[in-house]
A and B are shown apart, each in its own frame.
Chain A
Amino acid sequence: KAGVTQTPRYLIKTRGQQVTLSCSPISGHRSVSWYQQTPGQGLQFLFEYFSETQRNKGNFPGRFSGRQFSNSRSEMNVSTLELGDSALYLCASSPRQGAWEQYFGPGTRLTVT
């Protein structure tokens, strides 16, 4: 089976812009979670989607949003980018909601200038 794929792998944006990141889960996996990784804060949970519904949310401002499509693919959107949003954004998929066994993609490296 193909693993979790994320596009794009690298992205450079300017402060104030918005960005959309994409994640395709492992075939058959219906749950997608997003994480932010920064040197200062480490890995932090953003949100989890299952059956096109957000099931769980971390402690991030409303500028961070996401959605999931009927084929389980997910997108994450960040509006009004700030310098502090520069990070590696990781997507993980799992076969069911709330499953602790998650399979991670390679991440999207976002740089905000």
Chain B
Amino acid sequence: AQSVTQLDSHVSVSEGTPVLLRCNYSSSYSPSLFWYVQHPNKGLQLLLKYTSAATLVKGINGFEAEFKKSETSFHLTKPSAHMSDAAEYFCVVSGGGGSQGNLIFGKGTKLSVKP
């Protein structure tokens, strides 16, 4: 069965410092992995996706993530945080097999950015 674990429920950084949001996955298939962001009172927006091509994936707004099979990790990073990055971030794995359309979400990491 597929699952993801987000290792931090809350991360706080200062504006201009690096961001690291950690995610470990478990999958019996070759996984498709995603990061989504949810700003307050808004829907989910896809930040980036990994689908077995390049292991370093670049997304929108300067975010990137690296797929590490040996560590079963898919951590999200950004070199320099901006105030507008404050939001909740979800690591997601697709259901796999006949359940590709079933996205399985982590519990989320709330990112706070201090001025």
Q: Which residues of A contact B (CB under 8 A)?
A: 4, 31, 33, 35, 42-45, 48, 50, 55-56, 58, 90, 92, 94, 97-107
Contacts and interface: CB of A to CB of B under 8 A. Distances in A.
Contacts of A107: 43
B75 interface: no
Give the secondary structure class of A's interface.
strand
Interface in B42-92: 42-46, 49, 51, 90
Given A100-B34, A104-B43, A105-B43, A42 B103 contact: no
B101 A99 contact: yes
Contact of B100 (A35, A58, A100, A105): A100
B37 to A, nearest CB: 11
B10 to A, nearest CB: 14
B90 A99 contact: no
Nearest to A94: B101
Interface residues of B, number: 25
Contacts of A104: 36, 43-45
A109 B99 CA distance: 26
Interface string B19-35: 00000000000001010
B55 to A, nearest CB: 17
A56 B43 contact: no
A101 B49 contact: yes
B104 interface: yes
B99 to A, nearest CB: 6
Nearest to B32: A100
A100 B107 contact: no
Contacts of B112: none
Contacts of B104: 45
